[in-house]
Amino acid sequence: MSDPKPVVTRFAPSPTGSLHIGGARTALFNYLYAKHTGGKFLLRIEDTDRARSTDAAVKAIFDGLDWMGLKPDGEVTFQYAGMERHKGVVDQLLASGRAYRCYMSADELDAAREKARADGHALRSPWRDREPGEGSNLGPHVIRFAGPKDGETMIDDLVQGRVVFANKDLDDLVLLRTDGAPTYNLAVVADDHDMGVTHIIRGDDHLNNAARQALIYQALGWELPAFAHIPLIHGPDGAKLSKRHGAQAVGEFADMGYLPEALRNYLARLGWSHGDDELFSDEQAAAWFDIKDVNKGAARLDWDKLNSVNAHYIKAADDERLTGLVAEVFAARGSALAPARLERLGAAIPFLKERGKTLLELADQAGFLFLSRPIDIAEKPAGQLTPEAMDRMARLRIQLETADWAAPDLEAAIKSFAETEGVGLGKIGPPLRAALTGGLPSPDLGRTLDLLGREESLGRIDDALSRRA
């Protein structure tokens, strides 16, 4: 039976750096589960760590989610703005005896930790049993949660299954710091409750926090949300994803020429599956995605797979959009395309996209279109321009001059020229290609001539012919 309460998920990043693909996948799973259930997907920026939170990181999160196409429902919440509310929740816990002021000095804290370790349980403060009373203030103090000393806390995690924590191993965690600032575990519980979050889907590095948070929920008499702790993304070698595995930030994937829909598809499939389906639309992902199908084992980033998914979406992408995106790659490389060149690129895109795995590859493959004459011919292709090949190309040029300038006609003209000459295409193609592209990649010859246009093609052939001694 389905839960009658509408599903509310949230993505709760700390704005301390760029949006990583691990975070993007967490956001995606939250987004997809909300879509799957007809619920809401909320965004909360956890900016309580004032020293490490930056506006640039907030912007990077917004931009990253926007690029990924993961639009949150409703207003974005900023955790720091809820500080007074968080303190109010702590007052509630103090009033019910589920929190206490702790005046331990740093030395005392060390000693208490030592003792707790010797006694075989997590940290408790002696102040727990000597509550000085409402309103008393004996100087700097923190406020700690009075957790149960024995028994167990069970988390029925939707991905990890049942996870049991012995309460003696859960310390009396700090709720408010000496400066009155709420801690993560307190703020997260208060916010998730207030935002009506029903499903907390996040990285499994937070699994231990789930037990602490569950105890706070219980102490407040609040309904516990469902938890789903998803495995982190690992590198192809199985080690935790890090700089040495290459790109990590969503923006880097964009810069490497991946399409957002490809990254969505790839990341959704990373650690989650629907039968053998590798490629699916956003609608299918939303229809199929269920947390219970998320794997427990770590997911490994597989560049080949990502490239093949991206190639699929490049093929499927609208030509005009791709033209604009590839033009952006040229601009980012410092060679913005003037209108005439943009038009030439637009004509080439339907053919180039059949073979490119990334937008950068498409730009590389379009490079031959924009060379300035006389073009540089690399050493190896230049070797094709033997006197014999040059003479033949001069005769071919005469044939091409009268050909209809469209790929099939040009292809046919080359073929019939080869027949007339009594040679195979292998004697004609390589020198012609050298003259036309200088060795850069290009589609088949008829298409290459067509895309370059009559004037440019004949001009490049003439330039090559003029290299004859």
Report, as residue numbers or ranges, the catalytic residues.
243
Span of 11-19, 288-296, 385-393, 418-426 interacting with ligand GLU by CB under 6 A? 11-19
Q: Which residue has the tokens 């075989």?
A: 120
Q: Does 20 bind ligand GLU (CB under 6 A)?
A: no
The residue to which tokens 């299918």 are assigned? 284
CB neighbour list of residue 459: distance below 8 Å, 6 or more residues apart: 373
The letter for the amino acid at 332 is A
Residue list 95-124, contact with ligand GLU (CB under 6 A)? none
Binding mask 169-198 for ligand GLU (x = CB under 6 A): -------------------x----------
158 versus 434: smaller Cβ distance to ligand GLU: 158
Q: Which residues make Cβ contacts (< 8 Å) with residue 100, sequence separation at least 6?
A: 94, 125, 127, 128, 131, 143, 144, 146, 172
Burial class (CB in 10 A: 0-12, 13-18, 19+), 133: exposed
Kindly indicate which of the ranges 6-14, 93-101, 129-137, 276-284 contains the residues binding ligand GLU, using the contact rule CB under 6 A. 6-14
For ligand GLU, give the closer residue by CB, 141 or 229: 229
- When binding is defined by CB under 6 A, the residue of 7, 8, 9, 12 that contacts ligand GLU is 12
Cβ-based nearer residue to ligand GLU, 46 or 261? 46
- Going from the C-alpha of 402 to that of each of 222, 397, 406, 468, the distances in angstroms are 83, 9, 12, 24
When binding is defined by CB under 6 A, the residue of 13, 64, 438, 443 that contacts ligand GLU is 13
Number of shown-chain residues binding ligand GLU (CB under 6 A): 7
* Span 287-346, contacts to ligand GLU by CB under 6 A: none
Burial class (CB in 10 A: 0-12, 13-18, 19+), 117: exposed
Are the beta carbons of 374 and 382 closer than 8 angstroms? no
Under the binding rule (CB under 6 A), the answer on residue 271 touching ligand GLU is no
Q: Which of 25, 86, 98, 202 binds ligand GLU (CB under 6 A)?
A: 202
Closest to ligand GLU by CB, 13 vs 438, is: 13
**Residues facing 299 on adjacent strands:** 233
Find the part of the chain contacting ligand GLU (CB under 6 A) among 8-16, 95-103, 129-137, 297-305.
8-16
For residue 84, count other CB atoms closer than 10 A to its CB: 8
Shortest CB 216 distance to ligand GLU, Å = 13
Task: For the CB of residue 37, give the shortest distance to ligand GLU in the complex, in Å.
Answer: 19
Query: Residue 46, interface with ligand GLU (CB under 6 A)?
Result: yes
Which lies closer to ligand GLU via its Cβ, residue 188 or residue 418? 188
* Long-range contacts from 109-115, C-beta under 8 angstroms, 24+ separation: none
Q: Counting contacts by CB under 6 A, is residue 357 touching ligand GLU?
A: no
Residue 206 binds ligand GLU, judged by CB under 6 A: yes
- Shortest Cβ 10–ligand GLU spacing (Å): 7
- Nearer of residues 125 and 185 to ligand GLU, judged by Cβ: 185
Distance between CA atoms of residues 251 and 267, nearest Å: 15
Does residue 132 contact residue 101 with C-beta atoms inside 8 Å?
yes
Alpha helices per DSSP H over 295-444: 303-316, 319-332, 339-352, 359-366, 379-382, 387-401, 407-421, 429-437
| Site for ligand GLU, rule CB under 6 A | 12-14, 46, 188, 202, 206
